[in-house]
Amino acid sequence: MGKIWNNRAAFDRWSTLTEWPMAGISLIFLGVYAYVVIGNLRITDTDWPEVTMNVIWVIFAVHYVVSLVLVPHTKQWFITHLHELAIVVLPFLRPLRLLRLVTLLHVLQRSAGAALRGKITLYVGFTSALLVLIAALAILDAEQNHPEANITSFGDATWWAVVTITTVGYGDHYPVTDLGRWIAVGLMIAGLGLIGSVTATLASWFVEKVRESAENAAEAETRESATEDDRERESAQLRGSGASG
């Protein structure tokens, strides 16, 4: 029991210490990755972006291994952090490294304030924007150099990501590669989840407003009843005083 407690304390310290630095490193990777993808660069064009992304991948790997060693409930943490494992063992799939931006969601959630609905609204809005950006970059990386591709610019990719995450799906732009289709599947599933979150938030707000109205009406009725009882008591006292006189 003492060992588990010590591991928990060490893991908490490690998580707190690395939370913001890892979020910053993830943003650096996002910027470099966006530069490479939108510019459609190759290693022969310039090598510093590839070196930077590889160094960041090593940092991700070290962070994952240390976290896995320190966490008390290893199996549970392993299952809930499969995206980090994918980043480490599949470094050749560059879009997967963008999953490290999930760290930003945890940071945002902790600083979003105390109101649950405010947290959900901010969380959903930030997640939607982040997913659109990540999906646009990932689909452009996967598609733009395919001979039959119809997603060949960042504008096309962003439009595709927006209509896909909202489950509209106009069909004017669509992936033709296997990786692109898997990205589309993941984005559609995420879009359905976000729509469900928004619907649940609106339903919760509506139910709360109805409950508040009912409670206000009940309080008003109680106050009116109490006032009427006070009047009756006053009348009874006046009648008693008159009879005594």
Domain boundary among 103, 128, 162: 103
Of 219 and 51, the one with more pLDDT: 51
Domain boundary among 73, 103, 133: 103
The pLDDT tens digits of the residues spanning 161-218 come to 999 998 887 889 999 999 899 999 989 988 888 777 767 766 776 677 677 777 777 7
Same domain for 116 and 15: no
Q: Say yes or no to pLDDT of 158 above 80.
A: yes
Report the amino acid identity of residue 35.
Y
**Contact 11/70 with Cβ under 8 angstroms?**
yes
Q: What is the pLDDT of residue 154?
A: 94
Same domain for 78 and 161: no
Q: Does residue 243 sit within a domain?
A: no
Same domain for 122 and 61: no
Q: Say yes or no to pLDDT of 18 above 80.
A: yes
Q: Does residue 36 sit within a domain?
A: yes
Q: What is the pLDDT of residue 7?
A: 67
Q: What is the CATH number of the domain that holds 230?
A: 1.10.287.70
Q: Does residue 65 sit within a domain?
A: yes
Of the candidates 179, 139, 180, the one whose C-alpha atom is nearest the C-alpha of residue 159 is 139
Distance (Å, whole) CA 81 – CA 96: 13
Task: Give the contacts of 131 (CB within 8 A, at least 6 positions apart).
Answer: 161, 165, 187, 190, 191, 194
**Contact 57/87 with Cβ under 8 angstroms?**
yes
Q: Does residue 64 sit within a domain?
A: yes
Same domain for 231 and 126: yes
Q: Does residue 189 sit within a domain?
A: yes
**Contact 192/157 with Cβ under 8 angstroms?**
no
Q: Does residue 244 sit within a domain?
A: no
Same domain for 127 and 14: no
Sign of CA dihedral 130, 131, 133, 138: positive
Q: What is the pLDDT of residue 159?
A: 95
Same domain for 127 and 160: yes
The pLDDT tens digits of the residues spanning 111-143 come to 555 455 666 666 777 778 888 988 999 999 999
Q: Does residue 245 sit within a domain?
A: no
Q: What is the pLDDT of residue 1?
A: 47
In which domain, by residue range, is 165 found? Answer: 112-238
Same domain for 140 and 93: no
Same domain for 98 and 121: no
Same domain for 93 and 160: no
Same domain for 194 and 122: yes
Q: Does residue 213 sit within a domain?
A: yes
* DSSP track, the chain: -HHHHHHHHHHHHHHHHHHHHHHHHHHHHHHHHHHHHHTT--TTT-SHHHHHHHHHHHHHHHHHHHHHHH-SSHHHHHHHTHHHHHHHH-TT-HHHHGGGGHHHHHHHHHTS-S-HHHHHHHHHHHHHHHHHHHHHHHHHHHHTTSTT-S--SHHHHHHHHHHHHTT---SSS---SHHHHHHHHHHHHHHHHHHHHHHHHHHHHHHHHHHHHHHHHHHHHHHHHHHHHHHHHHHHHHHHHHHH-
What average pLDDT does the chain have?
78
Report if pTM > 0.85: no
Q: What is the pLDDT of residue 160?
A: 95
Same domain for 64 and 4: yes
Same domain for 206 and 90: no
Q: Structurally, how many domains does the chain consist of?
A: 2
What token pair was written down for 217? Answer: 């009406």
Q: What is the pLDDT of residue 145?
A: 92
